[in-house]
Structure 1
Amino acid sequence: MIVNSKNEGWEIFSHSSHGLLAGKIAHELTDTYKNENWVATLAAIIEHDDRQLDFEEKNYLTEMGTPRDFLLEKRNTHEIIKRSKRLLSQANEKSCWIAMLIAHHLQFIYKEMRGENKTVSKFLKELEQTEKNYLQDLQITQQEVETIYQVMVFADRCSLILCQDEVPEKNREIEINTSIAGKTYWLSRKKSGNIQVRPWVFAKRKFHVTAEYKLLTQSSFSSNNEFQDKFENSPVKIKTWQFYE
C-alpha cells in the first residue's frame, strides 16, 4: 500500500492502482518509444506490482495501529520470493513477453539484496536464466529488453511520485530518473496545478490521467481485520492529474 497522511485522514493507493496509473502514463508516450509488441508491454507495466495486497499474509498496521506504507515494511525473504513467483506465474500464463519483462523487473528491484541474502541471490540467478530462456524463445537481445524496460521504469517512477504525493510546489522539480533514450527526466507542478515533465516525451501537448484510492478518516485501528473491513468497504475516490507541455 502507498499511504499518505492527510488532514482528512489516510489516503491509500493499492499497488495495483499505482500499476494501472503507470500504464496510463506509458500509453501517452509518443509512438517513437512504443515497440512492436506494445500491448503486451503495456500489460507488463500495468501488472508489474500486482499481487501485493493480501490481508491473510501480512499485517498492514504499524505498532500504533495506523496504516503502514510499503516503504516502512520489513523485507521478508519468504514473502518476497512467494509473491514474485506468484506474479511471474500469472504473467507467464498470459504471455512470455510479459513474463520476460516481469522477470527483468524483479531482478532490478531486488538486485541490492544479492550479496545480503543467499536465498534471494539463488532466486535472482534463477530469474536470470528464466529471462535468457524467454529471450531465446522470443528471439530478441538483452539490449532490446533493456531499451523496452526503460519505458517501464520511467512510467513506474512517474506514477510513484504522483501516488506518493511527492510533486514539489512552487515550480520546483523532482527527478523522475534517467531512463528512456538515456535521458534524465524531471517532473514539476506549475502554478496552474498542471503537471509538467521535462523533456516532454508524450504524443499530445496535454492529457490527464486518473487513479483510484481510498480515504480512511479513522485515525487508527485495533486489528488488521478491522482495517481490512474499513478499507474494503470505503467508497472509491478518484484523483486526477493534468499534464501539460
Structure 2
Amino acid sequence: MIVNSTPAGWQVIYQQAHALLAAQAAWHWPPLGPPDQFVGLLAAIAQHDDEQDDWHGRGGHHGLTPAGAPASFVQKEFSLVQAQSVLAAARFQGRWRSLLTSQHLSALYGALRGQTKELDAFLDELAARQNEWRKALKINKKEAHQAYALLHWCDRLSLILCRQEIPEMGRAVEIYRGPDGPTHTLAQPGGPGQLVVIAPWPFRVKEVAVSVEASVLAQLQFADDAALAAALRAAPVETLRWELRPAPAVK
C-alpha cells in the first residue's frame, strides 16, 4: 500500500492502483516498437506491482506499523516471495513481458545483493533468464533497456503523484531518464490541486489526465490486519486526478 497522512486520518492507495496510473501515462507516449511489443510493455507496467502478499483477514500485523498504523510499502521489508510471484505470473503472458518484469526486479533489488543466499540466487537467475529471453526474442540490450526505461519512468511518475512528492513553491523534481534520452522533471507552479507541468514534454498529445482511486480512513490505529482490512473494505473511496501539461517555454 501507499499510505499518506491527512488531517483526518489516512489516505491509502493500493500498489496495484498506482501501477494502473503508471500505465495511463505510458499509453500517451509514442509507441515503442511494434504494436504487440508496446501492448506487452503496457501490460508489464500495469501489472508490475501485482502478486502482493495476501494479509487481508489473516490476523497478525503484516499491514501495520509497530504503532498500529497502516504501513506504507516503504516501511515493509523486501519480500522475495512477492518478487518471485510477479515474475511467475508474467510467464503466462510471454517472454517479452517476462523480460520487462525481470529487468524491473533487477533494478529494484540489485542493491540488496549479499543479504541472503536466496536473494543472490534469485538475482543470478534474473540475469541468466534475461540473456535467454533477449536471444530468443532477437532483442539486444539497448532495445530491452529502452523499453524498460519507459516502465521505470512511468513507475516513478506515478509514485511522485501518489506519494505526494511534488515539491512546494513550484520547484521541480526529477522523474527519470526516459526512453527518448533526456531526464524529465515535474513541477506544480500553481500549488496543490493545480496543473502539473513536465519538461521536456514526452507525450504524443499536448495534455494528459491521469487518476487513481484512494481509500479514506478516519481511524488512526488498528488492532491487527483483520481490523485494517475491514476498515478498508468499508472506507469511502475518492478519485485523485492530475492534469499534466508541457512546461511553459523559457523566454
With structure 1 as the length reference, what TM-score do the two structures score?
0.92
Partner of 1:133: 132
1:13-48 alpha-carbon deviations (Å, 9 max, x no partner): 1110010000001111134xx221111110001111
> Structure 2: how far apart are the matches of 1:137 and 1:234?
47
Q: Is the 8 A contact 1:15 1:53 kept in 2?
A: no
153-162 vs 87-96, greater mean Cα deviation: 87-96
SS at match of 2:180: helix
Q: 2:72 aligns with which of 41, 48, 69?
A: 69
> Structure 1: how far apart are the matches of 2:132 and 2:179?
25
TM superposition shift of 1:58: 6.4
Q: Is the 8 A contact 1:2 1:69 kept in 2?
A: yes
Q: Is the 8 A contact 1:14 1:53 kept in 2?
A: no
TM superposition shift of 1:181: 3.0
TM superposition shift of 1:128: 1.1
> Structure 2: how far apart are the matches of 1:144 and 1:30?
15
Alignment of 1:50 onto 2:50: yes
> Structure 2: how far apart are the matches of 1:45 and 1:22?
7
TM superposition shift of 1:81: 2.3
> Structure 2: how far apart are the matches of 1:96 and 1:237?
37
SS at match of 1:144: helix
> Structure 2: how far apart are the matches of 1:53 and 1:207?
32
SS at match of 1:241: strand
> Structure 2: how far apart are the matches of 1:199 and 1:58?
43
Partner of 2:156: 157
With structure 2 as the length reference, what TM-score do the two structures score?
0.90
> Structure 2: how far apart are the matches of 1:66 and 1:158?
26
> Structure 2: how far apart are the matches of 1:62 and 1:48?
24
**5+ long unaligned stretches in structure 2:** 247-251
> Structure 2: how far apart are the matches of 1:3 and 1:39?
30
Which has a greater percent of helix? 1
Query: 1:3-18 counterparts in 2 under 5 A?
Result: 3-18=3-18
> Structure 2: how far apart are the matches of 1:172 and 1:190?
7
1:107-128 alpha-carbon deviations (Å, 9 max, x no partner): 1100001133322111101111
> Structure 2: how far apart are the matches of 1:12 and 1:146?
32
> Number of residue pairs matched?
239
**5+ long unaligned stretches in structure 1:** none
User: Partner letter of residue 82 of structure 1?
Assistant: V
Q: CA RMSD in A?
A: 1.6
Query: 1:1-245 counterparts in 2 under 5 A?
Result: 1-31=1-31, 34-36=32-34, 37-55=37-55, 56=58, 59-75=62-78, 80-191=79-190, 193-245=194-246
Q: Is the 8 A contact 2:61 2:224 kept in 1?
A: no
1:196-235 alpha-carbon deviations (Å, 9 max, x no partner): 1111101111121111111111111111110011112323
Partner of 2:249: none
> Structure 2: how far apart are the matches of 1:92 and 1:180?
24
> Structure 1: how far apart are the matches of 2:98 and 2:120?
19
